[in-house]
Amino acid sequence: MKHRNGFTLIEILVVISILAGFVTMLVPNFMAARIKSRDSKRKSDLRQIQKALELYRQDQTPQIYPTALPATCTSWKNATDATIIYMSTVPGDPLTSCPGQTSYYYVRDPSDSMKYTLYACLEDKADSGKTSCPVSGFVCATGQAFCYKLTEP
């Protein structure tokens, strides 16, 4: 009688089904971590833009905020002195590609040039910092109807 070394078909199928069970348990957790990571990047990007807006305002006479932000993925420099750089690259949403994609929404108060609001779409429905997106014409690329909002400091 010959003795064969190797695995039977049943043994291989059992191992494959156990691995498939592990994968199905881990994939949702991995996707949630990616969503939270992208939302953290969006919040960080808005804080960076907020700091650049403050630098811009300090260089203006009289001190005002810009009417619009520069295009994403471009450098934001002073219009009269190109050696003054507010942002080396204006950040864009992690889900959109550069250039020209509308990533973050900036609204300067038309009645007060010292007030503005920044919005970014969030993917995580359970995020504690979310708010509704009250700006008309601003559509989230992710299809979600909630935003993260920052105002002037």
Instruction: Specify if 107 maps to a domain.
Output: yes
Count: domains in the chain: 1
In a domain, 4, yes or no: no
Q: Find where tokens 């994609």 sit.
A: 101
Residue 111's domain spans which residues?
Answer: 9-151
Amino acid at site 106:
Y
The tens digit of pLDDT for each residue in 25-73 reads 877 778 888 888 988 999 999 999 999 999 999 998 889 999 988 888 8
Looking at residue 132, its pLDDT comes to 75
Whether 103 is covered by a domain: the verdict is yes
Contacts with 48 (C-beta within 8 Å, 6 or more apart), sequence order? 87, 91
pTM confidence score: 0.77
